[in-house]
Amino acid sequence: MTNGMTHQEALCVTSMNAEYFGRRILENINFTVKAGQTYGLIGLNGVGKTTLIKIALGLKEPEAGGITIFGDAAGIPEAKAKIAYLPERFDPPWFLKGGEFVQFVAKLYGRAAPTEDMEKACGLLALDPSVLKNKVQTYSKGMRQKLGLIATVLSGCPMLILDEPMSGLDPLARALVKNMLGAVKREGRTVILSSHILADMDEICDCVTVIDSGGTPFIGTPEELKNRANEVYLEKAFLKVINRAA
């Protein structure tokens, strides 16, 4: 393990209930993400994936039960300091230059982001390093997404939570992001991601939790999900498990 993390449970969800505008959307949720895993959350829109992530980040209180981050209760400073989060609708401050934003994020976690490290990360995502000197308001959606991933990775946090990290990326960029996440995994860091691109989830996730109708109808490896549904493709297996017609 790296980053001084010795706790084997990176994230543990225990008997958790959660509401959204007074409606129960998560009920008795239980699953564990082991340290060093790449872990996927799969579900249709509105089933509670983002609510679960908000609770993990300490931005929302559960109705019952809870989440721990490397043994610390979600929401306390010690837990927050171990998580870097990239939201689905990532929109960095328009008045900052790209490099300034990455350095700002690193500073929040008590780290530095040397120009050499930023340029190397840009190279890994086929982003021209010269754009780091430009204000983010000049960036395309794909460029902003790459910048967010770079800042998240260079935070040095032992846990990265990524909500739809492939949003706005072309096939080449998606392949490069998967390579970058593989490098993060080899460092011993934990990646939790939510994505609707199930082919990507199948390729990179060690384990997935399917969320539907308030519960978790499946927890296991992508291969186990496909075997259970007797399907070759994860998307078809997912739809079968939640009893939805493709």
Q: Phi/psi of residue 43, each to 5°?
A: 180, 160
For 199-237, write each residue's pLDDT tens digit. 999 999 999 999 999 999 999 999 999 999 999 999 999
The DSSP bridge pattern shows strands 83-86 and 9-20 to be: unpaired
- Spatial CB neighbours of 118, under 8 Å, sequence gap ≥ 6: 99, 102, 103, 129, 132, 150, 154
Q: What is the pTM of this model?
A: 0.93
- Spatial CB neighbours of 8, under 8 Å, sequence gap ≥ 6: 34, 35
Number of Cβ within 10 Å of residue 117's Cβ equals 16
The average confidence (pLDDT) of the chain is: 93
Nearest CA among 111, 36, 41, 53 for reference residue 81: 111
Share of the chain above pLDDT 90, in %: 89
Distance CA 242, CA 215 (A): 10
- Spatial CB neighbours of 42, under 8 Å, sequence gap ≥ 6: 194, 195, 198, 201, 208, 209, 210, 211, 238
The DSSP bridge pattern shows strands 9-20 and 64-69 to be: antiparallel
For 53-99, write each residue's pLDDT tens digit. 999 999 999 999 999 999 999 999 999 999 999 998 888 999 999 99
